């Protein structure tokens, strides 16, 4: 019986690795011809996805989303503001997307990442603004779609006193690991953070915070790195009624005409000033969006690309659908490959499948938060 040639296997592995670095496109195309990718995924399959709610205890809503190695941390802080004269009955959402140097070797210290403002604008359009598109489906021209879509959050829900006070939601998303499909992971973390915001306290009674914001997990696959980043608290009291701590708090006007929070001790007492909102209310979410980024290369469509795949095959398409599979937006940032109608239809079909997966992940994460 012959002894395996370990040196020969090592030499072969080094040759494959050298070929991958010297001729990356040819290396990937060899895999694509076999309908497989270097990470062993089929062309249309997304990477394993992890979602953890309540990752930041000091935030009013937070989530840690992980798609493959791409990791996003989203956190929301709520403050009372004076609404603008143009929109006196609306609150406001401020979205910032951050790419610190730790997320990728291509992000240099002191220089903002080029992708950061682009993703911030996409997130703002998807979550809180109406988006308009023109339409053209005449091949071989690229497909551009008509849509006028309201955001995930109705800004009127954030109003407290018309023209005087409204909620300001600050959404900050930090990219901890940039390994492709950044917008998909950022949007998932934002949606999850607002969902956690709906099921988290806005109370100013700080002694409740360690319980209410205890992290809760849902995973599709066990990922040790997420376990290390976020660990559930075991100190949460058994008699805590979550329904008492999951809503926007009662606020009142003081003598100076300013909005103040009504503490839980004062809710049952007679107040000098009538409360602005007599009952706590949940932040309502509608048209929850999910996205899938695909690569178009020759006759191939690759779902949920890695950073390496994005750098080699540069034509990207991002489709955003809501939980009812209605089109929210379609984004194609250039690239040499034209997005023909058939290719776009295939991308939309893949996105529909992905939306079902992400909706299940989000629902189970929220259910886990409510149970625990």
Condensed to tens digits (0 to 9), the pLDDT of residues 72-104 reads 999 999 888 889 899 899 999 999 999 999 999
Per the document, the length of the chain is: 372
Total domain count for the chain? 2
Answer yes or no: do 97 and 164 share one domain: yes
Answer yes or no: do 133 and 68 share one domain: yes
- Write b or e for each residue in 65-83: b if 16 or more Cβ atoms lie within 10 A of its Cβ, otherwise e: bbbbbbbbbbbbbbebbeb
Answer yes or no: do 273 and 210 share one domain: no
Answer yes or no: do 183 and 266 share one domain: no
Pairing of strands 147-149, 131-133: antiparallel
Answer yes or no: do 51 and 186 share one domain: yes
List the domain range (segments joined by +) for residue 257. 248-281
Answer yes or no: do 102 and 125 share one domain: yes
Answer yes or no: do 230 and 139 share one domain: yes
Answer yes or no: do 267 and 339 share one domain: no
**Tens digits of residue pLDDT in 281-319:** 567 787 899 999 999 998 899 999 999 999 998 789 999
What's residue 155's pLDDT?
87
**Tens digits of residue pLDDT in 206-263:** 332 233 333 333 333 333 333 333 333 333 333 333 333 234 555 555 555 555 555 5
Q: Is residue 12 part of a domain?
A: no
- What one-character-per-residue DSSP string does 228-240 give? HH----S---TT-
Answer yes or no: do 111 and 255 share one domain: no
Per-residue confidence band for 372, with pLDDT thresholds at 50, 70 and 90: low
Partners of 66 in beta bridges: 50, 71
């Amino acid at each position: 019986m012959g002894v395996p040639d370990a040196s020969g296997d090592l030499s072969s592995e080094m040759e494959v690795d050298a070929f991958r670095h010297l001729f990356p496109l040819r290396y990937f195309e060899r895999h694509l011809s076999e309908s497989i990718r270097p990470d062993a995924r089929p062309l249309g399959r997304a990477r394993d996805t992890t979602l953890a709610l309540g990752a930041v205890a000091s935030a009013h809503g937070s989530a840690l989303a992980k798609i493959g190695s791409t990791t996003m941390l989203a956190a929301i802080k709520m403050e009372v503001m004076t609404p603008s004269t143009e929109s006196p009955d609306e609150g406001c959402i401020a979205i910032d997307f951050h790419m610190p140097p730790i997320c990728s070797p291509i992000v240099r210290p002191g220089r903002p990442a080029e992708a950061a403002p682009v993703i911030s604008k996409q997130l703002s359009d998807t979550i809180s603004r109406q988006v308009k598109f023109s339409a053209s489906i005449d091949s071989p021209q690229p497909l551009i779609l008509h849509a006028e879509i309201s955001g995930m959050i109705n800004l009127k829900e954030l109003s407290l006193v018309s023209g005087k006070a409204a909620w300001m939601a600050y959404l900050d998303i930090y990219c901890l690991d940039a390994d492709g499909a950044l917008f998909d992971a950022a949007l998932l973390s934002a949606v999850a953070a607002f969902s956690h915001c709906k099921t988290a306290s806005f109370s100013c009674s700080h002694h409740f915070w360690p319980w209410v914001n205890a992290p809760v997990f849902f995973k599709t696959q066990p990922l040790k790195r997420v376990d290390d980043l976020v660990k559930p608290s075991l100190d949460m009291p058994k008699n805590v009624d979550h329904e008492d701590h999951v809503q926007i708090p009662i606020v009142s006007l003081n003598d100076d005409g300013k909005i103040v929070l009504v503490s839980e001790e004062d809710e049952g007492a007679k107040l000098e000033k009538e409360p602005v909102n007599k009952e706590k209310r949940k932040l309502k979410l509608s048209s929850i969006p999910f996205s899938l980024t695909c690569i178009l290369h020759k006759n191939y469509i690759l779902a949920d690309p890695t950073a390496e795949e994005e750098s080699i095959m540069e034509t990207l398409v991002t489709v955003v659908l809501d939980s009812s599979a209605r089109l929210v937006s379609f984004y194609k940032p250039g690239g040499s490959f034209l997005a023909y109608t058939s290719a776009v239809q295939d991308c939309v079909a893949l996105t529909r499948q992905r939306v079902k997966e992400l909706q299940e992940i989000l629902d189970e994460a929220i259910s886990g938060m409510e149970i625990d």
